[in-house]
Amino acid sequence: MIVLASDHAGFKLKEKIKKYLQKLNLEFKDLGATDTNSVDYPIYAKKMALYMKDRAETKGILICGTGIGMSIAINRFYYIRGALCKDKKTAILCRQHNDANVLILAGRNKGTMLHYRKIVKAFLNTKFLGDRHQRRVDMLIDLAKEQN
């Protein structure tokens, strides 16, 4: 399952990504926003995090204007590892090395839809390498839990 969410600045890209996921016959859930009217991005990051809490196999795609606000908000949850990716290579590496479970995109970037499709596809199809990387991911989880 893939869960999607955006603020107003990421809404148009989210809608395009939904069409791409439909074309790939992938199951997804849209948590909003529902249009381009101004909303607060932390609300949608929280919705995604709470939805994903007991769904370990779920991956998220989260979009705001720059991707930075969503990155800050979503990574407040110990079980989330959100990665702002601007190209295919970072999408692959965040999955392989960090076991990222949320892909964060910038809706106001000038990238083409083909560019975004490559990022999404790489994120969804890349496996976590585990091994030495698992130790580091465990350390990240421990750090986040210490803050709660």
Answer whether 82's CB lies under 8 Å from 90's CB.
no
Q: Which is the catalytic residue, given 8, 97, 115, 133?
A: 97
Question: Residue 122, SS3?
Answer: helix
Cis peptide, bond prior to residue 33, ω within 30 of zero? yes
Reduced DSSP (H G I as helix, E B as strand, rest coil) percent helix, strand, coil of the chain, to 5: 50, 15, 35
CA–CA separation, 99 and 26 (whole Å) = 20
Q: Is 133 a catalytic residue?
A: no
> What are the catalytic residues?
97
